[in-house]
Structure 1
Amino acid sequence: MEDDRLSIYGSPFLAAKLSRRTVIKAGVAAGAVVAAGGLTWVERALAAPKGTLNLFTWEGYAPAPLVKKFEAETGYKVNVGFYPSNGELISKLKATKATGFDLVQPSVTLIPAAMDSDLYQPIDPKRISNFKNVIPSMVEASAQLGGMIKGKRYGLPFDWGTEGISYNTKKIATRPTSFGDVHKDEYAGRTTYRATFHVFVATGLSMGLGNRMRDIYITEEKAKPILDKVLAFLISKKKNVKTYWKTAQEIETLLTTEEVWIAETWDGTGWKLDRAGQPIKFVAPKEGALTWMDGFALPKGAKNLDAAYAWINFMYDPKNAAMFTKESAYFTAVEKAADNLEAGIKKQYSESFSPADIKNLWWYGIEHSWWLDMFAKYVDKLKAA
């Protein structure tokens, strides 16, 4: 029988997917993150003392219990700011010339786009004693998916997950099987997704377009006829959409209040609500769950590097990694973390992913600036329609 750690963390299948390097995972967003006292988070970070880690990350990636434990064990204070998309992360780094941030957690596929503007500095795994705990195939995958550029390491793996469908089991009796189910007229006013390129990929997959949507990455000329068809379909079904969700808290609220019954979400969203006793389940669509890997990266202007490396080392500890999964519902790249997970979490994973689903995962690939520019235009057209 396959080892539990392998079935949960993907060591057997991840290496086989390394060549599947084409897709987009970025919504372009803007706006300042306002902190206490009326200062933006960046202004607060720039004014922080030397013993402070300025961590800019995804919502849910710095759970309060872990921050408290890190501060107690290391003596560093943590100043946390959140971004809702890779696009906003890159925009903030460009606006500040990559200063004010000590550590960020981009999707590894977006690191090349950031490096088009020289936003990160090389990262040294030798400064991380717990790096030995990271699944080797994850280390290799992060390198091939964007973390290694011209022989230098700019990103390390942190966690991985998927995007599929979360639905209310009280309102929807039949388990959804396709990304196309999100657009069914019977769920008019009760469906939601992010207005980002994720929905273009998912919808295109459900429509059977572009050689499983791989053709959109050959050239822009090749992509446009395919994306035009997807856009036309999304606009025709826009009346069914309750709202476009943006943050983890927003989609959790929409599902728990039953304002929406079905949504294109991250796996962690469905699992977290299920564990909280809500009638919500996450499923991997037959087209293949969209799969991402987020990592660690050091901004070019990072000042508190010791604190940044301390956080990475802390999160690579198996017990802390398991604590992260319990708090966030996302699986990390730390192999032995599975030994510390509750049986209920493992059960959720097996309920959502069959062995066939794992083989069918649809991995995001390297994303450069010209891709983001093209994709942003299609997202804008969808929002404006």
Structure 2
Amino acid sequence: MKFIFVLFALVLSLFGNEKVLYVYNWSEYMPDSVLKNFTKETGIKVKYSTYDSNEAMYAKVKTIGTSSYDIIVPSTYFVNKMSREKLLVKLDKSKLPNYKNLDTKLLSKPFDPNNDYSIPYLWGSTGISYNADLVKEPIDSWKNLWNPEYKNSVLLNDDMREVFGVALKVLGYSSNSTNPKEIEEAYLKLKELLPNVKMFYSESQKQVYLNEEVKLGMNFNGEGFMANEENEAIKYIYPKEGTLLWIDSLVIPKGAKNIDNAHIFINYLLKPEVSKIISEEIGYPSPNAKTLELLDEKTRNNRTIYPNEDDLLNSEFQIDVGEVLPTYEKYWEKLKTN
């Protein structure tokens, strides 16, 4: 009997104290080598799962509870939404010595003024990708998507705020409009676009362009970069009305079971040499100021990844639209069921 008890205690010590971390992130958004090296360096095993939209992530977290994950990577205004709903843990920056490496221009944004809940992971833009072998007119504007010759040939993100942001930009409004009349106008403008829309899709968009399933449409700049790496005919541009900007942030959900491991993971990702690997492989700009000094010239000078000031004229970061969100949701539902 004593032997059985000792054996049971040994099993508990081996498995009950397993160093583990549950990460819930966007698809194709972290190199496998980074996860493997993290485990090799720390002994912490990463259990990794993915989502394809903020809405899908939020719905799952609300359904199964935040305790199922230790790290989540929401975009911009979703950080504010989740912190306001008390779904996030306040970070202990004393456990994040590499926080000092971050570019201060990407800190203290309105969605988390003191970065109490979020640490920038990657930032980027949503612009237009097009296949130059299939599209002959110059593409420089969101308005190009409405050209009747692109019937059933356009990709739109499966993202309510970004899709409405495009229409609002075309109409000359802010992509963060809180005016119900402007939001309704954007809905009507998007209804005009529907004959051209082949799909609403946000997961691995590069493959859709590489397969020539669409001729042009919305795209994340990193997906545009990776598609261009495989086919030079696929171009990425910053529309003249202004592109849509975002920051994807590392957060710890309330109820996380491995909070210390989560801090260790965040601090690891903030190492300049690790951030360099992520930026070069995934194709998104790093928020790590120290990383810029390490990047290869091809990555550092690629405007799809690192835009210049002219590229970002009239661009906006998404912010929380507060009480008008249900108005967006109402028109989004109508748009998707048309």
When normalised by structure 2's length, the TM-score is 0.89
Distance 2:105 2:306 in 1: 22
- Aligned amino acid, residue 113 of structure 1: K
Distance apart, 1:288 and its partner CA: 0.8
Distance 2:221 2:175 in 1: 21
**Retained in 2: the 8 A contact 1:160–1:292?**
yes
- The answer for the alignment partner of 2:255 in structure 1 is 301
After TM superposition, list the pairs within 5 Å mapping 1:1-385 onto structure 2. 50-141=18-109, 145-148=110-113, 153-195=116-158, 196-208=160-172, 210=173, 212-213=174-175, 216-217=177-178, 223-247=179-203, 249=204, 251-349=205-303, 353-368=307-322, 370-385=323-338
SS state of the match for residue 264, structure 2?
Answer: helix
Distance 1:152 1:118 in 2: 15
Distance apart, 1:357 and its partner CA: 2.2
User: How many positions carry a matched residue from both structures?
Assistant: 323
Determine what percentage of the aligned residue pairs are the same residue.
25
Distance 1:153 1:291 in 2: 21
**Retained in 2: the 8 A contact 1:147–1:156?**
no
Distance 1:259 1:118 in 2: 41
Q: Deviations over 1:264-310 (max 9, x none)?
A: 11111111111233421111000111101111111110111121111
Q: Deviations over 1:294-328 (max 9, x none)?
A: 11111110111121111111110111101001121
- Aligned amino acid, residue 80 of structure 1: Y
- Aligned amino acid, residue 140 of structure 1: S
Distance 1:213 1:137 in 2: 21
**Retained in 1: the 8 A contact 2:272–2:291?**
yes
**Retained in 2: the 8 A contact 1:256–1:278?**
no
Distance apart, 1:50 and its partner CA: 4.1
Q: 1:74 to 1:367 in 2, by over 3 A?
A: farther
Distance 1:360 1:48 in 2: 53
Q: 1:226 to 1:48 in 2, by over 3 A?
A: farther
Distance apart, 1:197 and its partner CA: 2.5
Distance 2:143 2:163 in 1: 10
Q: Deviations over 1:94-133 (max 9, x none)?
A: 2233211111111232222113321111001110121111
> Rg larger in 1 or in 2?
2
Q: Deviations over 1:358-382 (max 9, x none)?
A: 34322211354x4443322211100
Q: Deviations over 1:204-255 (max 9, x none)?
A: 21122x4x455x32xxxxx2222222222222221111111131x2x22210
SS state of the match for residue 239, structure 2?
Answer: coil
- Aligned amino acid, residue 325 of structure 1: S
**Retained in 1: the 8 A contact 2:25–2:51?**
yes
Please, which moves more after superposition, 185-194 or 352-361?
A: 352-361
Please, which moves more after superposition, 165-174 or 279-288?
A: 165-174
- Aligned amino acid, residue 207 of structure 1: L
Please, which moves more after superposition, 57-66 or 263-272?
A: 57-66
**Retained in 2: the 8 A contact 1:290–1:361?**
yes
Distance 1:152 1:67 in 2: 24
**Retained in 2: the 8 A contact 1:254–1:260?**
yes
SS state of the match for residue 107, structure 1?
Answer: coil
Distance 1:74 1:177 in 2: 47
- The answer for the alignment partner of 1:37 in structure 2 is none
- Aligned amino acid, residue 82 of structure 2: A
- The answer for the alignment partner of 2:7 in structure 1 is none
**Retained in 2: the 8 A contact 1:52–1:79?**
yes
Please, which moves more after superposition, 330-339 or 48-57?
A: 48-57
- Aligned amino acid, residue 380 of structure 1: E
**Retained in 2: the 8 A contact 1:192–1:264?**
yes
- The answer for the alignment partner of 2:8 in structure 1 is none
